[in-house]
Amino acid sequence: MQEYTQKVTLEHLRIVLWTVLGSSVLVSLLTSVAMMNTTLKKIEVYNHRTELAHQHELEYQRKILLGNNGKPSPMAAKVSGLTPSELRKAESAAKTPSKPPNSKSEPESSVPPKSPTGFGSSTPSEKKGASSSFSSSGSSPSSPPTSPWSSTIHSSPPSSASSSSTATDLSPYKPPPGETKEHRFPKVIIVGVSKCGTRALLDYLALHPNVIAANKEINFFTNVSMYNKGPEVYKNSMPLSYSDQLTVEKSPDYFECEMCPERIIAIDRTIKLLLILCNPVDRLVSQYMQLKEKNDQSGTHMAGFEEWSVDPMTNTVRKNVASIRTGMYDQYMTNWFRFFHQDKVHVIDGATFIKDPVGEMRKVETFLEIKHYLTSEDIYYNATKGFHCMYSRIAKKSHCLGPTKGRPHIKVLPGVYQTLQTYYNPHNARLKSYFNYQMSWV
Ligand SMILES: *[C@@H]1O[C@H](CO)[C@@H](O)[C@H](O)[C@H]1NC(C)=O
Ligand SMILES: *[C@@H]1O[C@H](CO)[C@@H](O)[C@H](O)[C@H]1NC(C)=O
């Protein structure tokens, strides 16, 4: 009897065990199926969204190519920094030189409306020539895109660049034994903002032994003909490097380019971004000076800064001037953060960067996970130049930035400066409220 009970109990136990085991196997099977479904759904949604974005871009490209009722294309406006009306006037003035220039603003209707993200059909990215890499057949949802991109490449995991420590490591650089230099995809991209010190940032970074910088602005993601050739062209336009060196490129045009964030992560999901932000009014002054210099060289008249940026009749900011839109940082950053996690993006305060470049570069080294190397020996203030110069311990040479960098700004009428500042204030405030960046110039 006792034996029987024991047997029954054992039998029970076995049944219970098998049931538990069986159901757990079943549950995990069901879970995997469910997870697979979710993943498939996610991929589907992602593909659909990407497709939509490409269609949107193709349409815009067509608009640029076909023109807008013979009106100057927004691309031309971006290149010259003039509003479409100013451009039109400049064009008609060239044809009929007797006609005096007219400062009246153009009708709003000729400018396409802006979308909430700041990337309406007038997105500056596309004005700069950014456009889809996909052939028109690729824009139909049923057919997969046939482009050099169809085989998605994901470059190797981050190289084992010397890990960061708190101490400054001054030891000379030795390449990994037995290695030869190669072209490599960038691991770091300086995406903007132009006239905020991106050149200085790139040149300072280039002093670091674990960094190799592309000297030219590559503009791969905004250059249609280059982008259509595929990623190998991008890689081969990078300087040669060893595996323990980070390749960095700087193309400030990427900042306003709507398609760029997505195109960059398609190259490598681990790419880190550097973004330097300065007071948008000061940035505008700097940009104006650059444009004026160019126009002076080509003998083109350009209005004074005040009239160029603010309509004197109404005292309103000429918000159709492409260079003025650039300063609305929050709108463009919204797009970047749709694709990049904030810990992959390091934002530098442009004003602090000028005052304390070594301190800011230390933060950059930490962000890039490279050793602390740069000191005030490498980046030093030159009183004659009125700006920082560099000494390369690798090349044993010093050099200063070009004559246009760090040049003193023109005096701007206080009223106009204030009007512009007020215009940018809500955008500046969003840097803190949306993204939690406290800039010293806000
Ligand atoms: C695009 O890149 C090609 C090749 O580097 C260059 O020749 C061309 O000028 C670039 N186009 C633009 C619009 O920058
Ligand atoms: C300082 O700047 C002046 C003017 O640009 C330049 O001639 C000189 O070589 C610089 N000196 C150093 C040590 O960088």
Tokens of 355: 């005052």
Among 15-29, 269-283, 348-362, 403-417, where is mean pLDDT lowest? Answer: 15-29
Across 290-297, average pLDDT: 93
Which band of pLDDT confidence, cut at 50, 70 and 90, is reported for residue 442?
very high
Tens of pLDDT, residue by residue over 313-336, are 999 999 999 999 999 999 999 999
d(CA 136, CA 151): 18
Q: Which residues contact 99 (CB under 8 A, 6 or more apart)?
A: 92, 93
Residues 55 and 194 both lie in one domain:
no
Across 371-392, average pLDDT: 93
Across 215-228, average pLDDT: 96
Final residue of a domain: which of 12, 33, 66?
A: 66
Reply yes or no: is the peptide bond before residue 347 cis, omega within 30 of 0. no
Is there a domain that residue 392 lies in?
A: yes
Long-range pairs for 415-423: beta carbons < 8 A, 24 or more residues apart:
415/315, 416/305, 416/306, 416/309, 416/310, 417/281, 419/310, 419/315, 419/316, 419/317, 420/280, 420/281, 420/284, 420/309, 420/310, 420/317, 421/281, 423/317, 423/319
d(CA 240, CA 225): 23
Across 295-310, average pLDDT: 95
Give the number of other Cβ atoms within 10 Å of residue 258's Cβ.
22
Among 97-106, 202-211, 295-304, 361-370, where is mean pLDDT lowest? Answer: 97-106
Q: Name residue 400's beta-bridge partners.
A: 389
d(CA 127, CA 79): 8
Q: What is the pLDDT of residue 386?
A: 86
Report in angstroms the alpha-carbon separations of 87 from 95, 300, 313, 405: 13, 12, 19, 28
Final residue of a domain: which of 66, 91, 120?
A: 66
Q: List pocket residues of ligand 1, CB cut-off 6 Å.
A: 129, 219, 223, 225-226
Residue 412's domain is classified under what CATH number? Answer: 3.40.50.300
**272 among known catalytic residues:** no
d(CA 193, CA 191): 7
Give the rounded distance of the alpha carbon of 45 from its chain centre.
25
DSSP-derived 3-state class of residue 310: strand
Tokens of 214: 């592309």
The answer to whether the CB of 350 falls within 8 A of the CB of 196 is: yes
Is there a domain that residue 46 lies in?
A: yes
Is there a domain that residue 340 lies in?
A: yes
Q: What is the pLDDT of residue 408?
A: 65
For a pLDDT cut of 90, what percent of the chain falls above it? 57
DSSP-derived 3-state class of residue 240: strand
Q: What is the pLDDT of residue 409?
A: 74
Per-residue pLDDT at 417 exceeds 70? yes
d(CA 252, CA 197): 10
Q: From the alpha carbon of 129, which atom of ligand 1 is closest?
A: 13
Final residue of a domain: which of 38, 66, 94?
A: 66
Is there a domain that residue 388 lies in?
A: yes
Q: How many domains does the chain have?
A: 2
Give the number of other Cβ atoms within 10 Å of residue 4's Cβ.
8
CA 354 to ligand 1 centroid distance, Å:
32
d(CA 303, CA 103): 9
Reply yes or no: is the peptide bond before residue 345 cis, omega within 30 of 0. no
Per-residue pLDDT at 130 exceeds 50? no
| Mean confidence (pLDDT) of the chain | 76
Quote the domain boundaries for residue 37. 1-66
Amino acid at 310: V
Count each helix (H run) and each strand (E run) in the chain, helices first.
Answer: 15, 12
Query: Which one of 89, 128, 195, 250 is the catalytic residue?
Result: 195
Is there a domain that residue 319 lies in?
A: yes
Q: What is the pLDDT of residue 269?
A: 94
Among 211, 191, 198, 326, smallest CA distance to 251 is for 191
Residues 57 and 193 both lie in one domain:
no
Is there a domain that residue 439 lies in?
A: no
Across 190-205, average pLDDT: 97
Which band of pLDDT confidence, cut at 50, 70 and 90, is reported for residue 410?
confident
Tens of pLDDT, residue by residue over 258-288, are 999 999 999 999 999 999 999 999 999 999 9
Which band of pLDDT confidence, cut at 50, 70 and 90, is reported for residue 441?
very high
Is there a domain that residue 320 lies in?
A: yes
In the block, which residue shows the tokens 């070594």?
358
> Strand (E) positions, 242-295?
246-250, 272-277
Per-residue pLDDT at 368 exceeds 80? yes
Q: What is the pLDDT of residue 165?
A: 56
Which band of pLDDT confidence, cut at 50, 70 and 90, is reported for residue 418?
very high
CA 133 to ligand 1 centroid distance, Å:
15
Which band of pLDDT confidence, cut at 50, 70 and 90, is reported for residue 114?
very low
The residue whose CA is least distant from atom 5 of ligand 2 is 385
The residue whose CA is least distant from atom 2 of ligand 2 is 385
Q: From the alpha carbon of 219, which atom of ligand 1 is closest?
A: 14
Tens of pLDDT, residue by residue over 26-61, are 556 555 656 655 554 544 444 444 444 444 444 443
Per-residue pLDDT at 99 exceeds 50? no
Q: What is the pLDDT of residue 218?
A: 96
Q: What is the pLDDT of residue 407?
A: 65
Nearest ligand to the CA of 127 is 1
In the block, which residue shows the tokens 């890039």?
368
Per-residue pLDDT at 230 exceeds 90? yes
Among 96-105, 241-250, 285-294, 373-382, where is mean pLDDT lowest? Answer: 96-105
Q: What is the pLDDT of residue 55?
A: 44
Per-residue pLDDT at 211 exceeds 80? yes
Q: What is the pLDDT of residue 233?
A: 97
Tens of pLDDT, residue by residue over 134-176, are 333 333 333 333 344 433 344 444 444 444 456 777 777 889 9
Q: From the alpha carbon of 399, which atom of ligand 2 is closest?
A: 14
Tens of pLDDT, residue by residue over 395-404, are 899 999 877 6
Question: What's this model's pTM, rounded to 2 decimal places?
Answer: 0.67
Is there a domain that residue 82 lies in?
A: no
Among 322, 335, 153, smallest CA distance to 262 is for 335
Does the annotation list 409 as a binding residue?
A: yes
